[in-house]
A and B are shown apart, each in its own frame.
Chain A
Amino acid sequence: MTRDKHPVLSEHFERLKELMPDVYAKHFREEKETKNQKLFRMLKHSLGVIEAVYLQNSDDFSLSKAEEYSKIIAELKELGYSYSGQPELMNLAAQFMIMKAKKPMEKAKGGIQQKKDDRKAM
């Protein structure tokens, strides 16, 4: 009887696998993963880093970065993957994208325009 086949120990390891599936199942899971799944996992890690940076200092996180973040998630959804994203960041990105549709700046014409507008047909 080998050591790991001891019924008590086996039971103990089975319980640990349930409690920490990431640690115990990682090796087997990674072997079974397709290339796309591996890439998706890596991407999720990268997005997690972005979210951590945002949560550490949200004031310095520019709106354009939030937009890029939301674009990655939108592309992931288009490819059939599911990733909901950090709600605050998604909200910020949505605001930025809405405001991008705004009307442009208006130059001051030094009274030239106003003078023309003042002319009224008699």
Chain B
Amino acid sequence: MTKVVQFPVSPPQKLGPRKARRRKKPNLEDFGQLNMFDQLPDKTPIVSLPKAGSFFEEALELDEAGKPEAEKYYLLAIENDQSVEDSYCNLGIMKSGQGDLTKAIDYLTQCLKKNPRHFEAHYNLGNVYSDLGNLELAKIHYELSTQIEPEYPNSFYNLGLVLISMKRYKDAIQSINKFVELAPNTEHQVANELIKTLNAIAK
């Protein structure tokens, strides 16, 4: 009797719609490739890259355009160790413009902590202290800025105004004369008028 061998029959495939299923990702390391992006770190910083060369340059561009986002970029510049002292200095100016003079002093002194001979920080601190009515401190910072940058005329002008407020008219005349020496001709008229008045008072 012949033996009936059963022919292996695979169950018929069901035709019709088929659901999309997530394919299992191949483990790249099985193929000899080091998988570097297996897991994202928990705190991935999302930072928009600066359009200009650095965060500081981007901040400066925004600042010059009067945009408040400049503050964020100055802080990023500090975080990324780019022009740290200048960023602190300009943050100080921004805060002073917003009327937050305490924070302005904080940023400007942070700048001086990094660079005690930062000319702009001393000059700007002079301005902040004169806004606060602290003429003694304003005078010290203006004087320091004239020592660091003896060719910058505005330090001498503002120092002159502080000396007028302190009623030290002769010293004020000297300081404003120095401003006239250094400043462009277009700025001489007001300063010369001031010197005339001071000469009349000092007599």
Q: Which residues of A contact B (CB under 8 A)?
A: 63, 92, 94-96, 98-99, 101-112
A96–B138 alpha-carbon span in the complex (Å): 13
Q: Is the interface of A mostly helix, strand, loop or mixed?
A: loop
Given the interface contacts A63-B133, A92-B133, A99-B131, does A106 sit within 8 Å of B161 by beta carbon? no
> Interface on B for A, CB 8 Å cutoff?
56-57, 60, 63-64, 82-83, 85-87, 89-90, 93, 96-97, 111, 118, 120-121, 123-124, 127, 130-133, 135, 138, 152, 154, 157-158, 161-162, 164-165
- Which residues of B lie under 8 Å from residue A95 when comparing CB positions? 133, 135, 165
| Complex alpha-carbon distance, A110 and B162, angstroms | 29
* B85 pairs with A108, CB closer than 8 A: yes
Partner of A107 from B57, B90, B154, B158 at Cβ < 8 Å:
B90
A95-B165, A108-B86 known; A103+B60 contact, CB < 8 A: no
Given that A98-B164, A99-B130, A110-B56 are contacting pairs, would A105 and B86 also be in contact in the complex, using a CB cutoff of 8 Å? no
Cα distance A25–B85 in the bound complex, in angstroms: 68
Closest to A107 in B: B90
CA distance A20 to B31 in the complex (A): 109
Contact flag A99-B123 (CB < 8 Å), given A108-B85, A110-B83, A110-B86: no
B124 close to A105 (CB less than 8 A) = yes
Give complex CA distance A112, B124 in Å. Answer: 19
Interface contact A94-B57, CB-CB below 8 Å: no
